[in-house]
Amino acid sequence: MPELPEVETTRRGIAPHVEGREITEVIVRQARLRVPVPADLVDRLVGARIRTLSRRAKYLLVPLSAPAGGTLLWHLGMSGSLRLARLGELPKKHDHVDLVLDDGGILRYHDPRRFGFVDWLAEGREPDPRLARLGPEPLSDAFDGARLYRLSRGRRLSVKPFLMDNAVVVGVGNIYAAEALFLAGIDPRRAAGRISRERFDRLAAAVREVLAAAITQGGTTLRDFVGGTGEPGYFKQRLNVYGRDGQPCRRCGAELRLVKLGQRASVFCGQCQT
């Protein structure tokens, strides 16, 4: 599943090619996504100009000028990607939505599993509930060890699912939670409420470090993800624990262990993480 670094990589990859461009045509080949494509999307978008792209958690936000005057809310789901194409470039299977631009470029949405969506947020409406309940961005000043410590008091929940709660902090998915906990030396099974402020400071710093590194290197290469220019991410070759159960720890050589926490596989080192 594309996580925060993959979505940020996509934003950075496509932004220079689409910002300021006018949408001249919208092609919807498959409207039955996780959230159905709005029936009036074509009428709303044609003639509108794309403003500055932004990201909130794993959502890509595409604000538009008049006549649309709203924002496209894009989610890549489990296997979705946004690619840049050119007029005359034939769509592939699972290429569901095209935004054709005034310079002949195409912003093309590809999603084999159709768990993603593109939705419309009208200007001036109440905050969308999908965005209103989100915690701070992990690379922002609003996220730190003090917040983790404060929200964890009295919690018996294991620290890994606690860290993956979007109300606590957004965008720390399974891969990056596992990697950050390894860097911080924290056992993912440990109850969040029993972790000290000092250790949460280390964990917050580790979250920042692993996400920043992943974004710099273009996200994590999984089976389906490619960035906005069609290039895969390269972070996977640096993973310390995720997907490496049974292999030796890169730090101490002990065999990495696999457990399930919150229905998600979690790999950790029983020697380095306590």
Domains 4-132 and 145-268 share a fold: no
Q: What pLDDT, on a 0 to 100 scale, did the predictor assign at position 263?
A: 86
CATH class of 145-268: mainly alpha
Return the number of other C-beta atoms located less than 10 Å from residue 51's C-beta: 15
| Residue 113 assigned to a binding site | yes
Residues 6 or more apart from 237 whose CB is under 8 A from it?
Answer: none
- Maximum Cα interatomic distance, the chain, rounded to a whole number of Å: 60
Length in residues, the chain: 274
| Residue 194 assigned to a binding site | no
**DSSP H/E element including 258:** strand 257-261
pLDDT in tens for each of the 274 residues of the chain? 678 998 999 999 999 999 999 999 999 999 999 999 999 999 999 999 999 999 999 999 999 998 778 999 999 998 899 999 999 999 999 999 999 999 999 999 999 999 999 999 988 777 889 999 899 999 999 999 999 999 999 999 999 999 999 999 999 999 999 999 999 999 999 999 999 999 999 999 999 999 999 998 876 655 556 667 766 665 666 799 999 999 999 999 999 999 999 889 999 999 999 9
CA–CA distance, 266 with 258 (Å, rounded to integer): 6
Where are the domains positioned within the chain? 4-132, 145-268
Superfamily designation of domain 4-132: MutM-like, N-terminal (3.20.190.10)
Which residues are identified as catalytic? 2-3, 58, 264
Q: What is the DSSP pairing of strand 59-63 with strand 70-75? A: antiparallel
| Residue 12 assigned to a binding site | no
What are the phi and psi torsion angles at 129 (to 5°)? -60, -25
pTM metric for this prediction:
0.88
